[in-house]
Amino acid sequence: MKSILDINTTTELIERIKLLKPTDKAQWGKMDAFQMLKHCTMSEEMYQGKTAYKRLFIGRLFGRMGLNGVLKNADPMKKNQPTHPDFMVKGSGDFEAERQKWIALLQAYQQFQPLGFVHPFFGAMTKEQIGQYVYKHTDHHLRQFSK
């Protein structure tokens, strides 16, 4: 399965991100292109330990099962997956600055060393699980905007 920890996979994703335009329309969901970029940068900052979010009660019950379901094979993530409330982005901002921030965060995975990371829904995740999930999450949102 692909992982953001692989430099070739990171390069592939960055090339797809470079194709995004502020006017691109989502194939599903409610986010516009800027909101998707911001959602993804917030996600990378969480995985890289720059921000933390409170563990959701429902995640304590079903998080491990959800993670295993997403990572069980190389299939893309399903459309319209639930989003943690803190990751729902409203409004607009500087599209190009957010794109460059996302690219830099993805490149930082080449030196990534998680220290006891706990996802607010999935719970504790290994470095390998984070690498695979970040790839799938990034791919999911690029597919959302046909990239």
Within-domain flag for 1: no
Within-domain flag for 22: no
Within-domain flag for 23: no
Within-domain flag for 39: yes
Within-domain flag for 2: no
What's the rounded Cα separation, in Å, for the pair 139 and 13? 7
Q: pLDDT tier at 83 (50, 70, 90 boundaries)?
A: confident
Within-domain flag for 63: yes
What's the rounded Cα separation, in Å, for the pair 86 and 119? 13
Within-domain flag for 85: yes
Query: Average pLDDT for residues 2-28, to the nearest whole number?
Result: 97
Query: Average pLDDT for residues 59-87, to the nearest whole number?
Result: 91
Domain ranges, residue 130: 7-17+28-144
Number of domains in the chain: 1
pTM, two decimal places: 0.94
What's the rounded Cα separation, in Å, for the pair 107 and 74? 22
